[in-house]
Amino acid sequence: MQHPWQALALAALLALTGCTADATVGAPSPTQQAPQQAAENVTYIDVRTPEEYRQGHVEGALNLDIQQEGFIDELGKLDKGRKYLVYCRSGNRSEQAVEIMRGLGFTDVANAGAYETLRNR
């Protein structure tokens, strides 16, 4: 990793919090279109595991697992001037990701919360 302090900060954040929401009833469809995505020209980032992503995700969302070692490096490849909405299972991991992204210089990034909330819109 290029920035060891960032890896240490990420490890500390992950050790202190995590997604703890209960599993939802019913299987989500493979993809779902979030209502505002096309109109607002946003990019959704799903910070859940690849397994969670495969169970259902916002159509077109990038899957960048916050628990993977290369997470910060992958964020570094993104356009910092673009608008991003970040989500996970309950909103905890996505909040961590938003804080990391802001620390890396992303200016238009927000926590979209839980996937189930987005899916049910």
Indicate if the pLDDT at residue 115 is higher than 90. Answer: yes
In a domain, residue 21? The reply is no
Q: Which residues are catalytic?
A: 88
Which CATH number fits the domain that encloses residue 64?
A: 3.40.250.10
Whole-number pLDDT of residue 68:
97
- CA dist., res. 105 & res. 79, Å (int): 10
pLDDT 10s digits, 35-59: 444 546 999 999 999 999 999 999 9
Q: How confident is the model at residue 7 (pLDDT cuts 50, 70, 90)?
A: low
Within a domain: 23: no
d(CA 47, CA 117): 15
Confirm if 42 and 62 have CB atoms less than 8 A apart.
Answer: no
Banded model confidence at residue 121, pLDDT cuts 50, 70, 90: confident
Residue 22 placed within a domain: no
Res 97 pLDDT > 80 = yes
Mind listing the pLDDT tens digit for each residue in 12-37?
Answer: 444 444 444 433 333 344 344 444 44
Quote the CA–CA distance of 87 and 64 in Å, as a whole number: 10
Task: Note the pTM of the prediction, 2 decimals.
Answer: 0.69
Residue 65 lies in a domain: yes
Domain count, the chain: 1
**Residue 37 lies in domain:** 4-13+32-119
> Considering the domain boundaries, does residue 66 fall inside one?
yes
Digit-coded pLDDT (tens) for 66-94? 999 999 999 999 999 999 999 999 999 99
Q: What is the gyration radius of the CA atoms in the chain, in angstroms?
A: 14
CA–CA separation, 44 vs 11, rounded Å?
23
Please give the order of strands across the beta sheet that includes 84-88: 62-63, 43-46, 84-88, 109-114
Nearest Cα residue to 74 out of 30, 51, 43, 52: 43
